[in-house]
Chains A and B, each alone.
Chain A
């Protein structure tokens, strides 16, 4: 079984994003970029399935500009067997990404798609569900545990009231939540080896998908700032202030 792992290149999670002065978006020029952390978790899960003998090949795919090759090299350094870049310099939304991924899925015929539940830039939390819908495949979102047996995947999902488990007939889409696993680091020898692994580039506009967004970004602004308050010295003073000043207890 092949496992397809879509990965996105995003502003590194340790960087505090800065809104561009013209309000058009968030600054990405000269900012450290990395693989979306949820995608790292999804990739780790795919690698573990291969190590358990439940998958034969792990393919990383990214939709984005040419520089997105760097996250695909990272994916291969972590252990992906090969990578595909669906290249476009255009700003694309999850709707378009899921259409492009569907085209890749039809070509590669994976038995499982393991992807992050959301990207930490647009926080949309949509691409996995949309891809599953387009393929007519079942979905296991917000996964905290994944087990494959007899053509099915059992997915424990983090839901509002606790943990829900579903059983999905393969092929299926799973989206990784934070606690699914702890992704490995790429070792230096593996980083070197990854340079020799195959990376195929496909032009996005060759896949017959309309790249025009349906959701237009009008402007991006800083959220209103909160002012720092006062330091109190004793719990009695705190309780007094909460009662008489903030009037909240």
Chain B
């Protein structure tokens, strides 16, 4: 079994994120009137070589921002990101660009992530050219091989993105990321824009590539069932913080945080015979510009023991039953008998 809980790990981590913080200042007309949005507010986790960590949350939870700051596509406000032991903040711009060979990203929207004015071949070859991974005359062959590896025809290289369906474009995006032979890929909702029947194809492709190339993924998604399918470990985010993290089996099959329990319950069950009582949360997540001072989930929490402490004191992640959970009363199951 790969990985362990959030705090411990069996192998040296490939990626180590500690105390990651990303704040944005929203535009007020005057600089002073703008509020500070705490998109990511102190997030720590590790990803081992070959491991997939699922990062689950709703919109505004900060999961996408985590993915982008980990790759330094956005600069973190605070915190440390180490890749293969190197603190990314310590690198000069050139060194960071060289390191990008090892860590890649696949985006959610296959319509926006490819340059409409460049051929598919040019997009896939981009990384090979930047890092001079092959002599010029060998590039077309490399590109064709990559396209075939993701299940496309090698001759597609001369076509433009608009000639392809969403699923095909997502495969092209994956081929572009693979071109630089990375060890780690941030998959930012890679299938949520695709048709159901195509989602499964792309998911299987990501699984195949992981097996063949020994890739590690940070798999960002809002769909717990999807994450259950691909991730070894799962981190559940709410309002910029991780509320529960552990192996996928532990966290999803016996969630301890009330929010995780609600998420699990909200996953549509295709079998009406199995449909159990649903937890329907009331209200919406609070704005990340004005999070509650205590537990971020307190405004929607249905835990019977919820009290003043939850309002005042932010719960820390602590180990419990083989996972880490941030809830003062996680020992008591909020939904008895589950």
Please determine whether chains A and B interact with each other in the same assembly: no
Which residues of A line the B interface, CB within 8 A?
none
